[in-house]
């Protein structure tokens, strides 16, 4: 089985004065603005790092749901945040770290088991695998 998904970007102008728009195949984002100011200056709009973070948090949480079910558990609630760190390095800018923070409510699960299964999901989720060149850390809290 092969699944293909697409995202696209349009850009006009230079780096600092330019403006862009990001779209997704599903239409969840359609011509959504991004640019230098939304990436580096905190101005409203999106940026590649927060999109990577959202994708990683979503993929990891879905993977964990599967792993929990395989262990005979089911979460009533899980919330994951992915903090993607962009830093200036010798060769320019680079994503230097991703930190996942998970809080979950899982009836009949103990904290040790939940942490173990969450680490399994972190290692196995397709987005984690794609981002494996970057250190990925994880904090887990059972609510």
Distance, CA of 57 to CA of 66 (rounded, Å): 14
How many residues are listed for the chain in this entry? 143
Name residue, tokens 């972190």. Answer: 122
Q: What is the pLDDT of residue 44?
A: 87
> First vs last Cα of the chain: how many Å apart?
36
Sign of CA dihedral 4, 123, 90, 13: positive
Show the beta-strand stretches assigned E in 29-132.
Answer: 32-34, 77-89, 92-105
Give the number of other CB atoms < 10 A from CB of residue 50. Answer: 16
Name residue, tokens 């993929």. Answer: 59
pLDDT digits (tens, 9 = 90+) for 47-97: 999 999 999 999 999 999 999 999 999 999 999 999 999 999 999 999 999
Token pair recorded at residue 83:
């903090």
DSSP β-bridge partners for residue 77: 105
pLDDT digits (tens, 9 = 90+) for 95-142: 999 999 999 999 999 999 999 999 999 999 999 999 999 999 999 999
- Domains of the chain and CATH, by start: 7-41 (no CATH), 48-142 (3.30.300.20)
């Amino acid at each position: 089985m092969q699944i293909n998904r697409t995202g696209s970007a349009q850009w006009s102008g230079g780096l600092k004065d330019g403006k862009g728009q990001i779209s997704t195949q599903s239409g969840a984002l359609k011509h959504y603005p991004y640019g230098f100011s939304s990436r580096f200056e905190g101005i409203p709009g999106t940026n590649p790092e927060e999109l990577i973070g959202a994708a990683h948090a979503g993929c990891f949480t879905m993977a964990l749901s599967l792993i929990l079910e395989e262990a005979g558990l089911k979460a009533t609630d899980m919330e994951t945040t992915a903090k993607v760190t962009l830093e200036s390095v010798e060769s320019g800018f680079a994503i230097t770290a991703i930190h996942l923070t998970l809080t979950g409510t899982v009836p009949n699960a103990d904290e040790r088991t939940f942490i173990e299964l969450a680490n399994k999901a972190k290692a196995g989720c397709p987005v984690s695998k794609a981002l494996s060149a970057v250190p990925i850390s994880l904090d887990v809290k059972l609510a």
